[in-house]
Structure 1
Amino acid sequence: MNEQLHRHKGLDIMDMYCCGFNGFGQLGTSSPCSDFTWFQFQNVTDVMFSFSSAVIFSGDGVLISGLVGEKDNQLRKLEPPGKGKFLQASCSSRQVLFVTVEGECWQYLPRTESWKKLPDFSTVENEEVGPRDDSLPKNTSDYGVLEFKKVPNQIIKVSCGDVLSIALDAFGRVYSIPSPLDLDRVKVVDVACGFEHCVLLDEAGVVYTWGSGTRGQLGHGETEFQDLPPRKVETFCGLKVIKISAGGWHSAAVTEMGDLYTWGWNNIGQLGFPMTKSNLRSANQYKKTSEEIDKEYAMSLQHVSNQLAHKTVHSNVEGEEGTLTEVSERKSKRTKHSLSSDVSESSVENLKCLLESRGDNSAIIASDGESSVDREDCSSRTAVSVAVLSEPWPVDFPLGIDVNVVDVSCGNRHTVVLLDDGSVWGCGWNAYNQLGRPSHTLLYSSQMTKIPLPCDMKINTPVSVRCGAWNTAILVMSQDIH
């Protein structure tokens, strides 16, 4: 749960505004939600969505809305079958996993309204060292008596996808339920699951992933399956990540400097980069002429060309009227990483190799005609469309504005961020209004777009964003005006 929510809980009234898919009445109303709507429960501290239901932590207890017991438009209060209260939960298409304050894990199936307590898989062997002579070397047989004692570790968070379910205990140990993962004493502080992949964040700000990487969602520069143990995402070497999120087949992270990175599948613009023409055609569920698609495609590429013009230190762009030389030295830490680090050079090279092997334009690359890219002189860089990004890449905002991202959350095919100025931005699919705009005015966005907030919400302070499946929620500190 977001630290800000912990800090404000009990001191301020927390409200939730939500939008997106409401086919089963999971948003607390039977009518479609074309923009953010106030969810009528006080002190909402957390929410999670599946495609058919929502689980809400509020002052009224833990509630589930939507499709429950094969009936839609339901609203039920959930009580743990065991002892204690619910601490946290996670939804997938078929189940909800709960953690209680005592560290118990429960599985709830909304379809059958049935509960099942998961075994105490978090019991681990802790090593105890008996008395020894400190003068003896540690590799001596007389070092001491080693005893192993089984100690239950308290589970504090769970995350479930369609394939994998993950648990995190209070000591930073991770379980692919029910098996503990071997992370060589790495202390994990956050976990997130997509459909088929998992993302971990340790206390040092290092990101690890594993699972299916067929759409680049693991961030290792390839589209292969990564078996256990989880593998470090090398692109973040030298950077400290503070937030992670996993969408259906894409991932996102925020660094301590406020930069947003995305990677994985970009079929509907959920990475914040231009889509390929074929994806543009499939995304448009209403009829468009080929000229309109070509025009939209060109505008999308121009947007990223403008972004990269701000990002490069020396940029030479050939145009019909001659050569324009730009010298732009942005103070952004994103620029320094993209142009000056060995990791960035490797990232660009890997992306180029990936494109060559795929035979299509599926990422942002340097197209200067050279076989390699000089990290000190990324000249003549142009933007091409993105189908898959197999390594994390920094996302720029329109007009090259510098932003500080404080929170990120991914739905199945959309991404939403909260900035330090309280504004909310998003990209990706909007067919169910999950970007807070009517779908007939915006079916999708392949760049970060500012999301309009309700008038009664503007006097409040957003503290967190939550996405899941085809929905988005904003948690705010309320002035209790309802």
Structure 2
Amino acid sequence: MSEAMEDAGNLESSGNLSHKIVAISAGEAHTLVLTGNGSVYSWGRGMFGRLGVGSENDELSPVRVKFGNPNNVKIVGIAAGAYHSLALTEDGSVWCWGYNIYGQLGNNGEDSNEEKYTEGDYSLVPCLLNKFIGLHPSDSSTSVSEGEGKESLRICAVKAGGMMSLAIDNRGTLWMWGNCPQESKEGALSFETSFIPAPVWDFHGRVVVKVSCGNEHVVALVSATESYNGEDLVCYSWGHNNHGQLGVGDRESRLHPEVVKTFDEESPWAIYELACGAFHTALLTRKKNPDDASESICWTFGRGDNGQLGHGTTQSTLLPTPVIELPENVHLVCVDCGLFHTSVVSSAGDVWSWGMQKGLGLCPDVSRAESDSGDALNPRLISCEPHQPKFPDPDKVVCGAAHTVVVGQEGYKVWAWGRGRSGVLGNGEGVDCHIPTLVLWPPMLDDSEEKEPDAKSETDEKLSSALNELNLLQTKLSIMEKYAGILHGSVFGKPFDEKDIPVSLQSSGSFDIGKEWDNMLEAADNRKLARLEMFYRDMLAGVKDKLMKRKIKDMIKECLQSSDVKKSYQ
């Protein structure tokens, strides 16, 4: 194993762009990553073809997504909706795959074959979206011709959420398709299926810089004027607002974008990151004053019944409110929202989560009472490993419906935790994990990639296999350390440390538990002995209590059976 560890270390230090993660996005139960050489990998639940690998099979570890034939497309951006995925190429083209019932792939399946579509409801492999219309409003006197608009159009960013897809072009125009907010016949807000990307003309003449969307609400950062100088962004929101997720102070839904007044043109705060959960929103800001720009504040609003707002309560909030329990004077580099939880990452290597199941992104155990769901109402610091609380150089965090993923070590390592069924955690297993576990990254090379121009050498393949083995062993070791730490803390009342390992076990690998127990008792002081006695008594009392209950249960069962036998003879 020492050779494998050495090879893995050499591989990481080589700086191979095919192994370096530069972007990541999470859907309901799947994750996408983009590497420095323009490749896309996915893992998790495969239903509806959201992984883009040609089937609906689950993938327990990262697999490569292929675009076109030959596969020479370079991807520069990715986005994951609930059950669908998007990818942006170097030339501005958009590829889509996965669930399509609301048109979120921008295609109704009529011009696709059976290998790609099943009745137009979903695509198992990436399909090129080619239905962007002219870049101008029909009633604009200053608009260019449709042909000119098409020729100059180039998509620069993609985003997805719920059943909706979004894109921003090189002119700063926002495009939407899928389950989009539209005006009903009665003039009210309605969400309608749209297979064709359409521009949001409310921002015509200004620049949309960033956008995020939840189940049925959208938040965007837009320049206050026609030009964008980096400091004049205004926050807009629209869509459904039944939980206050628009941050405008009420629960009334909005058909058209409306300014979030806390972050209007006069606000002292500059937003640099935004994220939408299903029914809540999170923003990261810094002071516009350069002297205070290093300090970050996380603001949240919307639905809060699982603690996903981090305000210490389960109340919804209608206006942006700071998460005050986060440490002061820290720089937060990233934020993301899951279905009912939120996570942030600091430049110092700290990761905080809050919301459902103590911020782990796990749905509550159905066997528990609702009052014992374990939701974290305030930020909870997540430890990378039992003996390593900080993540090494984390710079990205994403949240799925019930899982969280962090990218660190300059993009060469990935951790995931939460609901792990269907391979959602990418660690080669399909079980839930309450602590960060290493994703099997980089992935092994498959046969179909060997002939590509950027294929790895035979040596790289062996090193990749060694690193996968190392990652899997590190994951198992982390879980065992966590388990040992819990047991040690329960018995001895202090955290587990390497010096607590018996000398005989360290030197020879053999362990005489009886002898070591006697040695430990001999070396213990009165306080330790008293604690051990108390622990023993509590354990003994619990066993006796459980034994008594079991005997009573067996007696009742035997009595009932005897009664049934008697009745059968009457």
Asked if TM exceeds 0.5, the reply is yes
**C-alpha distance in structure 2 between counterparts of 1:102 and 1:62, whole Å:** 16
Task: Call closer, same or farther: CA 1:166–1:123 in 2, change over 3 Å.
Answer: same
CA contact (8 A) 1:418 1:464 kept: yes
- Which of 275, 278, 292 is 1:245 aligned to? 275
Structure 2: unaligned runs, 5 residues or longer: 1-11, 47-54, 100-121, 178-196, 224-231, 288-295, 414-466, 468-570
- Partner-residue secondary structure (3-state), 1:195: coil
2:200 counterpart of 1:181 = yes
The number of residues matched between the two structures is 318
- Shift, 1:146, TM fit: 9.2
* Corresponding residue to 2:262 among 213, 235, 243: 235
- 3-state SS, counterpart of residue 262 of structure 2: helix
Q: Which of 254, 257, 278 is residue 226 of structure 1 equivalent to?
A: 254
Give how far 1:93 is off. 2.5
Please say if residues 342 and 359 of structure 2, whose CA atoms lie closer than 8 Å, have aligned partners that are also in contact. no
CA distance in 2, matches of 1:252, 1:196: 15
Question: How far off is 1:42 after superposition?
Answer: 3.1
| Counterpart amino acid of residue 121 in structure 1 | F
Indicate if the aligned counterparts of 2:56 and 2:124 stay in contact, CA closer than 8 A.
Answer: no
CA distance in 1, matches of 2:28, 2:403: 8
Aligned-pair CA distance for 1:265: 0.3
1:260 is the counterpart of 2:298? yes
- Greater relative contact order, per chain length (Cα 8 Å cut-off, separation 6+): 1
Alignment of 1:14-53 (within 5 A): 42-53=19-30
CA–CA separation in structure 1 for the residues paired with 2:250 and 2:132: 33
Q: Which residue of 2 aligns with 1:463?
A: 395
1:67 aligned onto 2:45: yes
Please give the alpha-carbon distance, in whole angstroms, between the structure 2 residues aligned to 1:216 and 1:152. 38
Quick check: 1:77 aligned with 2:77?
no
Q: Deviations over 1:234-272 (max 9, x none)?
A: 111312211111111100111123111101000100001
> What corresponds to 1:171 in structure 2?
171
What are the ranges of 5 or more consecutive residues in structure 1 without an aligned counterpart? 1-9, 16-40, 127-144, 277-385
| Superposed displacement of residue 73, structure 1 | 3.0
Q: What pairs up with 1:429-448 in 2 under 5 angstroms? A: 429-430=356-357, 433-434=360-361, 443-448=374-379
Quote the RMSD (CA, aligned, Å).
3.6
Task: Give, in angstroms, the shift of residue 163 of structure 1.
Answer: 3.9
Moved more, 443-452 or 73-82: 73-82
Q: 1:403 to 1:76 in 2, by over 3 A?
A: closer
Change (3 A) 1:84 1:161: same
Q: How far apart are the structure 2 equivalents of 1:232 and 1:11?
A: 47
Inter-CA distance 259–124: structure 2 relative to 1 (3 Å threshold): same
Give CA-to-partner distance per residue, 1:186-211, whole Å, 9 cap, x none.
Answer: 21111111111111112523111111
User: TM-score, normalising length from structure 1?
Assistant: 0.59
**Mean Cα displacement is larger for which, 169-178 or 265-274?**
169-178
Q: Which has the higher strand share?
A: 1
State the Cα distance separating 1:59 from its structure 2 match. 5.5
From the superposition, tell whether residues 56 and 146 of structure 1 become closer, same or farther in structure 2 (CA, over 3 Å). closer
Partner of 2:340: 413
1:464 to 1:72, Cα distance in 2 relative to 1, 3 A: closer
**Would the alpha carbon gap of residues 478 and 220 (structure 1) be closer, same or farther in structure 2, given more than 3 Å must change?**
closer
Q: CA separation in 1, counterparts of 2:16 and 2:401?
A: 23
Identity, % of aligned pairs?
25
Q: Which amino acid aligns with 2:43?
A: S
In 2: Cα distance, 1:176 partner to 1:480 partner: 33
**Alpha-carbon deviation of 1:215?**
1.1
Counterpart for residue 449 of structure 1: 380
- Preserved contact between residue 359 and residue 376 of structure 2 (Cα < 8 Å): no
TM-score where L is the length of structure 2: 0.50
Pairing of 1:103-252 with structure 2 (within 5 A): 103-109=92-98, 112-121=123-132, 123-125=134-136, 148=145, 149-150=148-149, 151-177=151-177, 178-182=197-201, 183-203=203-223, 204-228=232-256, 230-237=257-264, 238=267, 239-252=269-282
* d(CA) in 2 for partners of 1:85, 1:116: 15
Change in CA separation of 1:11 and 1:186 when aligned onto 2, cut-off 3 Å: farther
Decide which structure has greater helix share.
Answer: 2
Question: Residue 409 of structure 2: SS of its match in structure 1?
Answer: strand
